[in-house]
């Protein structure tokens, strides 16, 4: 008999003993049962229970709560009781109870069920859940790594049930945000449940008013703790670690892709690297799609991932395959193996009979024409050898000319491709820009290995990329070719070469001066190069103070009418203050082929102080998502651009400068 059955039998024996005592007392008095206790012993035994939960045994402890195994005397079963850690205060209780409310709104076999919530005798909130017998997926994977039998089909079946539970939660606008093997429970009979919804989030509806319960679950009510919550390294999407980044279904899709990778390889994902592609091509492609760095390239829904897994296991083509006829035939054979083998055997027998008959006919004919065939072959061989001798010299000379033509054509195409990579409208994916530069350098190096002539455009394109990456020494090493288009940059490279260290980028002061010199050229086609150099510089390990010093030089050069420009950066509060009574611009958007984003974005500020500047257009702050902005004593007249700053909490303006209608823009924003 299992432990819950024994507890249930024990509770019945206690209630029976109480009822028996009542009957015995009535018999001694020679009367009948008249009280309500005598006529309904089970009901009144339940009514007398005061302490509902007993036999508490702690079974888990996390960063914010602890879980106990307790016996519920009313339902005569063991349940799991969660409580906040004793070290947490009353201000943290709502965040704890939020998990219970979110779990309560989810009714699915694959999601742990909530039974009860309340306040204990010590004034601490608690909630109880079903206590499942079984092990976590983490334990099963560890046992599989140790040699236990855990077939792939069973692993994939578990993931499909997890996908079904998560897809249901998404239909209720609930994101889990911490999917990992530790939070997946597998029961003794194969039942699968997703647990620990402490980091979950309820998405806002697309339109309409929020329900009262949804208002209580709004993450904005819980401050930065939930706004900036992260998942578990190795399983969370890259964008999930960005402060203030809106949470989305794509984050859960990424975590499920990491789970699939671990189920395939039995190796935990490395949070310092992108998920690797497992050996199975189709399942590996599913992992790759689910774990794309760009959320827009992942499965749009968990149901899409579940659909591909189901089709693959059923022998059908998935959305990640470009299956041709042979692949479709292979899948059809996998689904109908017995029928295909039977048809193949019948066709083979028919073919063998036909082949024997045809062979007998052929043999008699081949004997008659054998001599004629031999003669024809001899004459054909003579003609082909003669023709080959006549064309060999011509083909050799033509091959030399074609080789020279292809080399020049490849050089021209590579130069044009590098121009497209580095001079097209500025990419929105700034994190990927160093990869674009590296790709351009690799293309140029492949052509340069073929030794193109000095007038080839690949030489000045190579110089341009090395200059952009602050490798002045390497840039000047290729300056022997036709570098007329970049003579101004050659002069700047010679000027700043003494400041170049043996390896790595220029020091911050030297790099800031180089930026000023580029602006001083007053050449429109050089300003985009300056912005790209600032973006590429983000890959180098500079301090916040060094980056602030570089931007101070850039702003001073961009505001030549300002007698003094200063930029103060406080890293702990991530506060940026721009000082200068004549400062008017903070971006390069007035220049061709430059982005319309503020240069202050390189410091990722949460607080922007612009008091006393001549800033008039808030478009100069594009790309920022601060919490606080000081616009006092500026020339700003239109607050409309602030409507897109979703995390803005405070705007300081000069009293009386704006009408109530103008200020209403801030109140009506999302």
Q: Taking 70 as the threshold, does the pLDDT of residue 128 lie above it?
A: yes
Q: What is the pLDDT of residues 255-268, one digit of tens each?
A: 999 999 999 999 98
Would you place residue 538 in the very low, low, confident or very high pLDDT band (cuts 50, 70, 90)? confident
For the residues 489-499, what does the mean pLDDT come to?
Answer: 90
Would you place residue 359 in the very low, low, confident or very high pLDDT band (cuts 50, 70, 90)? confident
How many Å apart are CA 124 and CA 343, to the nearest integer?
A: 71
CATH superfamily of 134-335: Transferase(Phosphotransferase) domain 1 (1.10.510.10)
Q: Taking 80 as the threshold, does the pLDDT of residue 430 lie above it?
A: no
Where are the domains positioned within the chain? 3-85+112-130, 134-335
For 3-85+112-130, CATH number out of 3.30.200, 3.40.1000, 3.30.110, 3.30.960 equals 3.30.200
Which pLDDT score is estimated for 33? Answer: 45
Would you place residue 464 in the very low, low, confident or very high pLDDT band (cuts 50, 70, 90)? confident
Would you place residue 444 in the very low, low, confident or very high pLDDT band (cuts 50, 70, 90)? confident
**Between 395 and 526, where is the model more confident?**
526
DSSP string, 408-445: HHHHHHHHHHHHHHHHSSPPS-GGGHHHHHHHHHHHHH
For the residues 23-48, what does the mean pLDDT come to?
Answer: 59
Handedness of CA 411, 416, 419, 421 (dihedral sign): negative
Q: Taking 50 as the threshold, does the pLDDT of residue 397 lie above it?
A: no
Would you place residue 166 in the very low, low, confident or very high pLDDT band (cuts 50, 70, 90)? very high
Which pLDDT score is estimated for 20? Answer: 56
Tell me which residue of 620, 634, 629, 669 sits closest to 652, measured CA to CA.
629
Q: Taking 90 as the threshold, does the pLDDT of residue 146 lie above it?
A: yes
For the residues 537-553, what does the mean pLDDT come to?
Answer: 90
- Domains 3-85+112-130 and 134-335 in one fold: no
β partners of residue 193: 185
Would you place residue 108 in the very low, low, confident or very high pLDDT band (cuts 50, 70, 90)? very high
**Between 404 and 351, where is the model more confident?**
351
Q: What is the pLDDT of residues 305-344, one digit of tens each?
A: 999 999 888 888 888 887 655 656 566 556 656 766 777 7
Would you place residue 70 in the very low, low, confident or very high pLDDT band (cuts 50, 70, 90)? very high
How many Å apart are CA 635 and CA 637, to the nearest integer?
A: 6
How much is the mean pLDDT over the chain? 80
- Nearby residues of 6 by Cβ (< 8 Å), 6 or more positions away: none
Tell me which residue of 209, 217, 296 sits closest to 254, measured CA to CA.
296
Q: What is the pLDDT of residues 496-507, one digit of tens each?
A: 999 999 888 999
Would you place residue 425 in the very low, low, confident or very high pLDDT band (cuts 50, 70, 90)? very low
Q: Is 402 helix (H, G, I), strand (E, B) or coil?
A: helix
């Amino acid at each position: 008999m299992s432990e819950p059955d024994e507890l249930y039998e024990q509770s019945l024996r206690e209630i029976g003993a109480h009822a028996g005592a009542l009957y015995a007392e009535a018999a001694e008095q020679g009367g009948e049962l008249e009280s309500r206790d005598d006529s309904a012993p089970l009901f009144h035994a339940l009514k007398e229970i005061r302490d509902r939960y007993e036999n508490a045994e702690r079974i888990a402890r996390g960063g914010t709560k602890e879980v106990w195994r307790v016996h519920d005397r009313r339902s005569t079963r063991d349940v799991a009781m969660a409580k906040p850690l004793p070290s947490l205060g009353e201000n943290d209780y709502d965040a704890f109870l939020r998990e219970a409310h979110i779990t309560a709104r989810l009714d699915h076999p694959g999601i742990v069920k909530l039974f009860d919530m309340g306040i204990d005798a010590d004034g601490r909130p608690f909630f109880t859940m079903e206590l499942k017998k079984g092990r976590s997926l983490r334990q099963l994977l560890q046992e599989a790594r140790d040699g236990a039998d855990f077939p792939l089909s069973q692993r994939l079946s578990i993931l499909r049930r997890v996908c079904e539970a998560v897809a249901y939660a998404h239909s209720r606008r609930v994101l889990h945000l911490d999917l990992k093997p530790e939070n997946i429970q597998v029961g003794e009979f194969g039942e699968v449940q997703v647990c620990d919804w402490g980091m979950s989030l309820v998405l806002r509806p697309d339109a309409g008013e929020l329900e009262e319960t949804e208002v209580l679950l709004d993450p904005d009510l819980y401050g930065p703790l939930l706004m900036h919550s992260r998942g578990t390294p190795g399983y969370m999407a890259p964008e999930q670690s960005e402060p203030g980044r809106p949470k989305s279904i794509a984050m859960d899709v990424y975590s499920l892709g990491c789970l699939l990778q671990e189920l395939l390889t039995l190796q935990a994902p490395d949070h310092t690297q992108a998920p690797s592609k497992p050996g199975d091509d189709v399942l590996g492609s599913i992992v790759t799609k689910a774990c794309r760095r760009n959320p827009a390239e992942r499965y749009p829904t968990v149901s899409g991932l579940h659909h591909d897994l189901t089709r693959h296991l059923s022998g059908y083509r998935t959305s990640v395959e470009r299956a041709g006829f042979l692949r479709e035939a292979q899948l059809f054979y996998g689904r109908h193996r017995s029928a295909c083998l039977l048809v193949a055997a019948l066709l083979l027998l028919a073919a063998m009979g036909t082949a024997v008959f045809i062979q007998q006919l052929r043999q008699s004919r081949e004997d008659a024409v054998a001599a004629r065939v031999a003669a024809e072959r001899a004459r054909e061989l003579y003609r082909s050898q003669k023709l080959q001798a006549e064309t060999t010299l011509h083909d050799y000379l033509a091959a030399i000319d074609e080789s020279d033509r292809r080399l020049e054509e490849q050089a021209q195409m590579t130069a044009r491709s590098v121009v497209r990579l580095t001079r097209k409208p500025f990419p929105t994916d700034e994190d990927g820009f160093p990869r674009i530069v590296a790709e351009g350098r690799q293309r140029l190096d492949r052509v340069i290995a073929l030794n193109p002539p000095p007038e080839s455009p690949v030489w000045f394109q190579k110089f341009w990329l090395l200059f952009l990456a602050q490798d002045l020494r390497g840039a000047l090493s290729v300056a022997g070719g036709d570098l007329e288009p970049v003579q101004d940059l050659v002069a700047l490279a010679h000027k700043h070469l003494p400041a170049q260290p043996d390896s790595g980028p220029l020091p911050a002061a030297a790099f800031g001066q180089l930026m000023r010199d580029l602006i001083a050229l007053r050449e429109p086609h050089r300003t985009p190069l300056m912005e790209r150099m600032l973006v590429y510089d983000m890959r180098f390990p500079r301090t916040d103070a060094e980056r602030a010093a570089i931007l101070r030089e850039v702003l001073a050069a961009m505001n030549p009418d300002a007698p003094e420009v200063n930029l103060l950066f406080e890293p702990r509060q991530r506060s940026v203050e721009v000082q200068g009574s004549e400062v008017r611009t903070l971006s390069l958007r007035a220049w061709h082929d430059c982005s319309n984003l503020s240069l202050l974005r390189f410091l990722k500020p949460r607080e922007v102080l612009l008091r006393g500047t001549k800033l008039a257009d808030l478009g100069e702050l594009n790309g920022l998502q601060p919490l606080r902005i000081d616009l006092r004593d500026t020339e700003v007249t239109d607050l409309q651009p602030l409507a897109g700053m979703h995390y803005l909490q405070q705007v300081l303006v000069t009293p009386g400068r704006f009408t109530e209608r103008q200020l209403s823009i801030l109140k009506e924003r999302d």
